[in-house]
């Protein structure tokens, strides 16, 4: 397989990405076209003008606006395809990618069509670029625990029917404020019973401490924590999570720009957590909604923490340990990274 060879040396570092929402990767020009097609005019001419946030919840209102432009199977195929093609130019080789269909299902879309569309787009991008991608169906916590359980059961049915083979995991995202994560225990129990891997956004929003991380691990049985940066406030939990080998999928720039949790990247605890023995990966979360990409994430980290190309390469390679690939797939991906 031939990968595009980017000009920038940081883009040439091969990378995995485990925390990226497909709806947060839509090209601004595509947002405009899809909005027009869906008859949902945007309040601005340039979607980039929407992309200013002062908190996670203010970001979510824009995220939902972009989500509403996704109506047909072809729309989902287009955004998955463009997302992977764009990221391949910044070194992406393997992604476990979130999609969050609660809003669409509530509006009457068919989950089978959404998954089929995403699969179409992923297959086309894989054939063209060599990047590989699997899906994680994310529960939108704002829609409540019953909708979460329904999503898990529906995905389970599709998979039994051989129509959701790309979906390997279940996650939970969206707001953390005023939400009791414990209420999602039935959805996560069903995910486990149906054989899905499990991850959960926790410890992201400003005003949220490490308690949600504890709930995600001990009540929901999460095998990974998305963000999880609030863990830095609880050294005992850091030691425990390190010992259990539970990875954190960290999105440093997102925590600055979207959650407004840190004033600047150099305040971010990513490297301190890694030094404390945690498995961490570097991810973009919603790159298009921050005019951002995976290569830039590594470049900015390198600048903030004085990491050279080799150190960034090691950080990228460590990400393989946090994937849900089996041992032989991990070995072959490591060999591929080493060759590059
Ligand atoms: Zn996220």
Asked if residue 19 belongs to a domain, the reply is yes
pLDDT digit string, tens, across residues 72-125: 999 999 999 999 999 999 999 999 999 999 999 999 999 999 999 999 999 999
Asked if residues 15 and 316 have their Cβ atoms less than 8 Å apart, the reply is yes
Q: Residue 63 corresponds to which tokens in the numbers above? A: 């995220």
What pLDDT does residue 241 have? 98
Residues with CB under 5 A from ligand 1 (ion): 285
The rounded Cα 12 to chain-centroid distance in angstroms is 21
Q: Residue 218, exposed/middle/buried by CB under 10 A (0-12, 13-18, 19+)?
A: exposed
| 201 Cα: distance to centroid of ligand 1 (angstroms) | 7
Q: Residue 174, exposed/middle/buried by CB under 10 A (0-12, 13-18, 19+)?
A: buried
Asked if residue 334 belongs to a domain, the reply is no
What pLDDT does residue 61 have? 82
Q: b/e for 11-38, b at 16 or more Cβ within 10 A?
A: bbbbbbbbbbbbbbbbbbebbbebbeee
Please state the rounded mean pLDDT for residues 272-278.
97
Q: Which of 86, 10, 7, 13 is nearest to 320 (CA)?
A: 13
Q: Hey, which residues are catalytic here?
A: 204
Asked if residue 243 belongs to a domain, the reply is yes
- Percent pLDDT > 90 in the chain is 81
Q: Is the pTM of this model over 0.85?
A: yes
Asked if residue 251 belongs to a domain, the reply is yes
Asked if residue 121 belongs to a domain, the reply is yes
| 20 Cα: distance to centroid of ligand 1 (angstroms) | 6
Total domains, the chain: 1
Asked if residue 73 belongs to a domain, the reply is yes
What pLDDT does residue 59 have? 83
CATH code, domain with 212 = 3.20.20.140
What pLDDT does residue 2 have? 45
| 31 Cα: distance to centroid of ligand 1 (angstroms) | 19
Q: Which of 199, 205, 225, 223 is nearest to 213 (CA)?
A: 225
pLDDT digit string, tens, across residues 39-52: 887 777 777 777 77
Domain that residue 255 falls in: 9-327
| 70 Cα: distance to centroid of ligand 1 (angstroms) | 19
Q: Residue 1: pLDDT above 50? A: no
Asked if residue 186 belongs to a domain, the reply is yes
| 157 Cα: distance to centroid of ligand 1 (angstroms) | 25
Asked if residue 336 belongs to a domain, the reply is no
């Amino acid at each position: 397989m031939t990968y595009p060879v980017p000009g920038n040396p940081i883009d040439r570092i091969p990378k995995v990405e485990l925390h990226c929402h497909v709806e947060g990767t839509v090209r601004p020009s595509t947002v405009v076209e899809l909005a027009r097609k869906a008859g949902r005019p945007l309040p601005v001419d340039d979607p980039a003008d929407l992309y200013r946030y002062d908190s996670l919840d203010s970001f979510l209102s824009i995220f939902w606006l972009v989500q509403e432009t996704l109506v047909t199977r072809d729309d989902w195929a287009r955004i998955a395809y463009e997302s992977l093609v764009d990221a391949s130019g910044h070194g992406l080789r393997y992604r476990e990618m979130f999609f969050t269909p609660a809003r669409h299902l509530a509006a009457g879309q068919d989950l089978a069509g959404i998954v089929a569309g995403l699969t179409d787009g992923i297959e086309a991008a894989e054939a063209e670029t060599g990047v590989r991608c699997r899906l994680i169906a994310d529960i939108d916590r704002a829609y409540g625990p019953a909708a979460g359980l329904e999503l898990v059961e529906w995905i389970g049915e599709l998979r039994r029917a051989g129509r959701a083979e790309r979906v390997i995991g279940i996650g939970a995202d969206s707001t953390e404020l005023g939400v009791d994560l414990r209420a999602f225990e039935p959805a996560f129990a069903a995910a486990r019973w149906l054989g899905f891997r499990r991850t959960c956004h926790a410890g992201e929003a400003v005003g949220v401490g490490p308690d949600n991380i504890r709930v995600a691990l001990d009540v929901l049985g999460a095998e990974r924590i998305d963000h999880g940066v609030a863990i830095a406030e609880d050294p005992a939990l850091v030691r425990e999570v390190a010992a259990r080998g539970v990875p954190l999928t960290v999105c440093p720039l997102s925590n600055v720009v979207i959650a407004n949790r840190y004033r600047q990247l150099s305040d971010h605890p990513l490297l301190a957590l890694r030094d404390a023995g945690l498995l961490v990966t570097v991810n973009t979360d919603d790159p298009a909604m921050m005019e951002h990409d995976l290569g830039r994430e590594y470049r900015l980290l390198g600048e903030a923490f004085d990491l050279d190309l080799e150190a960034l390469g090691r950080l990228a390679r460590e990400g393989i340990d946090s994937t849900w690939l089996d041992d032989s797939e991990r070995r072959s991906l490591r060999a591929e990274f080493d060759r590059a």
